[in-house]
Structure 1
Amino acid sequence: MIKRLSTAALLASSVLVAACQPQATETASSQADCVPSTGGALNLYTARHYASDEAIYAAFTCATGIAVHKIEFRAPELLARLQAEGASSPADVVVIQDAGAMGEAANEGFLVPFEDATIDARVPEQWRDPQGRWFGIARRARIVAYDTQRVRPEEVDDYADLASPRFRGKVCVQTSDAVYNLTLMSALIDRWGSQRALEWARGIVANMARQPQGSDSDQIRAVAAGQCEVAITNHYYFLRMAESDDAADRAVTEHVALAFPQINGQGSHFNLSGAGLAAHAPNRENAIRFLEFLTGPQAQGIFATETNEFPTTTEATMPEDVAAYSHHAADPLPLPAYAEHRAEAQRIFEQAGWR
């Protein structure tokens, strides 16, 4: 469930929406009492599907007069469209909600390196592609929700713990093709090697309380309902449920808590939403202004406040619920590794029987 936009965000997000095709929508952002829309436009290809992002586009148009024309796809379809369009693609900026898919876009040549001192000053090196092709705009931790009445936090302080006999028949997970599971497995392959990662996946399969199913929110609900003791989830689903207008969702979090397990004692696994300059951008200057805007305090604040994601910049303001978890260290996985092991991650899941 997506958190309701705040009053400020709603005021900022006066957006026209028109259908493009079954799995895509195109929008143009505008707002009264702002800079006149004389700054031209940019074409945004995005795989993010949050209403809060519309507030960011509107705020950018308001500040610059540059209209944002958005085409939204799921990541596989977005990459396929870029491939089909080739050098004639009108895309100026590419945004994808998963670091693995963002890395694929870069490796396929859909993004072009560019230097920008503003972005480099705001975004730590860890969250920037070493070749300058893309950078993180928001972070999400792939962690563990656990039953506080049956699990001690120290029992889930390492991802390896989830595959131990302690949790036989007590783990809830999504299917293996869930994008965040693929990216987590890619990280484990990089850190542990393929054989240990396979053993871990087999351990998870042996420990499953039920067949993989449902969303991350469903995994949290299953823990609360006593169907399992631990579940793999992204952090923000728990935060959204905790502050939901739905009393049933809030009740789910009363006896469920978040643990931030470590990989080799170096930090928890964080995935990224990323952004980059399209290889054939027809509106390059406008695109770079937009990319800079995504790292600024207004956009970073919207990511944190409206979608409960962690910012990637060091000076962003966060609401209390997000800030309460912001001290957890992130595993310093090199950004190229998110995409490098993606195909192998899927093969390991298949070998392990994680459907």
Structure 2
Amino acid sequence: MKPFLSRSLWAGSSLIFTSLTLAAALPASAAEVNVYTTREPGLIQPLFDAFTAETGTKVNVLFGKDELIERIAAEGANSPADVLVTVDVGTLNRAKEAGITQPIVSEAVEANIPAQYRDADGAWVGLSQRARVLYASRDRVPQDTITYAELADPKWHGRICTRSGQHPYNIGLIASRIAHEGAEKTKEWLAGVRDNLAHKPTGNDRAQAKGIFAGECDIALGNTYYMGLMQTNEQEPEQKDWAKAIKVLFPDAEGAGTHVNISGVVLAKNAPNKDEAIKLIEFLTSDAAQRLYAEVNFEYPLKPGVPPSDIVASWGALKADTLPLTDVAKNRAEASALVDEVNFDAGPNS
């Protein structure tokens, strides 16, 4: 394989290189595949372990953040990257626009993943799904149904908390609102949500659950899978208490459906191990891997017929918005502009 650059050559980039322990004893001539990923190690490593156990193919992994797209582009024809595994349809689309992808051609992938979760040109394929839901206080929020539009209702004044409006998870939601309602109505809605915030946007999705537990707010935007991670967190058991204090509400369940986003994969343009890369992508869309996404990550499988985990199912049924994810992606720039225009991240009364 073409060697990865050492971490010291990318100081400050937060990149971490790992190689699977399952593959440590493989001979140098064994098949291998090189993965760049923005996913947290604990959420993706079990799937690579399973692939190696099934195929014997060594998976070399470089963990990083959004700079990985630019890195692959800068490496050009010499890039060792075979695939990029990342989250958010906007990031997947950005990889396509950066010219670092090649079409994923596989009958197995097409059979496993519905067309709405695959790029029309084959530049990316979805692997798992999460919903942008509302965490609600069990003690202070009696209702069990809600809409996204309702977040702008003055009855929630001082009762909502969220992370930055510019975070990709929130940008995706706002972009979907633009697709459904238009930019002007979305701007009005966003200003209403801003004025209902308990304080300036801060922290991550788990921090919002903590805020509800502490009584700082009553409802918060959050991704579904964080609930599962908090409910099962043995290393930080206080997070179990945060999860016990909240219930999951699926906005617009009786209407267009709850906004969803995906994790996904691209095949790198200059993949040196293309055959192995395709095999890995096929594995990630298979029943076995989709079940792992469900049980380990608490995400929704994209392959029809693979059920969510029991924990995820306990929150209630997900009726996903059928809005094409490409429509979400094309509205992301305008969504970001609206966040700045209404000064969302400055908090209420701004």
Is the pair's TM-score, using the shorter chain for normalization, greater than 0.5? yes
Residues 239-276 of structure 1: CA deviation (Å, up to 9, x unaligned): 22223335432222333101010289121011111112
Q: Which residue of 1 aligns with 2:50?
A: 59
Which residue pairs with 1:9 in the alignment? Answer: none
Rounded Cα–Cα distance in structure 1 between residues aligned with 2:181 and 2:254? 8
Query: Contact 1:262–1:268 at 8 Å: present in 2 too?
Result: yes
- Write the distance in 2 (CA, Å) between the matches of 1:52 and 1:254: 22
5 Å-filtered alignment, 1:286-305, equals 286-305=276-295
Equivalent-residue separation in structure 1 for 2:135 and 2:315 (angstroms) = 13
**Secondary structure of residue in 2 paired with 1:31:** helix
In the other structure, the counterpart of 1:104 is 94
1:168 matched residue in structure 2: 157
Taking the aligned partners of 2:245 and 2:335, their CA distance within structure 1 comes to 33
- Range with greater deviation from structure 2 (284-293 or 86-95): 86-95
One of 171, 175, 179 as aligned partner of 2:168: 179
Larger deviation, residues 226-235 vs 252-261: 252-261
Alignment of 1:176-325 (within 5 A): 176-245=165-234, 246-262=236-252, 265-325=255-315
Partners of 1:209 and 1:303 lie apart in 2 by 34
Deviations 1:310-350 (A, max 9, x none): 11112335431023347311111212223212221111000
Indicate the residue corresponding to 1:14 in structure 2.
Answer: none
- Output one character per residue of 1:13-35: Cα deviation in whole Å (capped at 9) or x when no partner: xxxxx846441112222427998
Q: Give the paired residue count.
A: 336
1:70 aligns with 2:55: no
Match of residue 348 from structure 2 = none
2:317 is paired with a residue of what secondary structure? Answer: coil
**3-state secondary structure, aligned to 1:153:** coil
Could you tell me whether the CA contact under 8 Å between 1:267 and 1:330 is conserved in 2? yes
Measured in 1, the distance between the counterparts of 2:99 and 2:237 equals: 47
Q: CA deviation at 1:180?
A: 0.6
Counterparts of 1:90 and 1:244 in 2: how far apart (Å)?
35
What's 2:3 paired with? none
* Contact 2:158 2:197 (8 Å CA) reproduced: yes
Q: Distance in 1 between matches of 2:71 and 2:322?
A: 32
Please list the CA deviations of residues 117-147 of structure 1 after superposition, one character each: whole Å capped at 9, or x if unmatched: 1111111222111222111111111110111
Structure 1 residues not aligned, in runs of 5+: 1-17
> Could you say which residue in structure 2 is the equivalent of 1:12?
none
Identity of aligned residues (%): 32
| 1:281 Cα deviation from its structure 2 partner | 1.3
- Give every structure 1 segment of 4 or more consecutive aligned residues whose post-TM-superposition deviation is greater than 4 Å: 32-39
Return closer, same or farther for 1:34/1:203 CA change in 2, 3 Å cut-off. same
Q: Name which of structure 1's ranges 244-253 and 80-89 shifts more when overlaid on structure 2.
A: 244-253
In structure 2, relative to structure 1, the CA distance for the partners of 1:137 and 1:169 (3 Å cut) is: same
Counterpart selection for 1:330 from 297, 310, 320: 320
* Aligned-pair Cα RMSD in Å: 2.2
Matched AA of 1:69: N
Distance 2:247 2:43 in 1: 26
User: Partner of 2:220: helix, strand, or coil?
Assistant: strand
Does the 8 Å CA contact 1:43/1:90 hold for their aligned counterparts? yes
1:25 to 16, 28, 31: 16
**For the Cα contact (< 8 Å) 1:128–1:335, is it kept in 2?**
no
Give the alignment's TM-score, normalised by structure 1. Answer: 0.88
Asked whether the 8 Å contact 1:39–1:64 carries over to 2, the reply is no
Q: 1:162·1:204 contact (CA, 8 Å) conserved in 2? A: yes
Report matched runs for 1:85-100 at 5 Å.
85-100=75-90
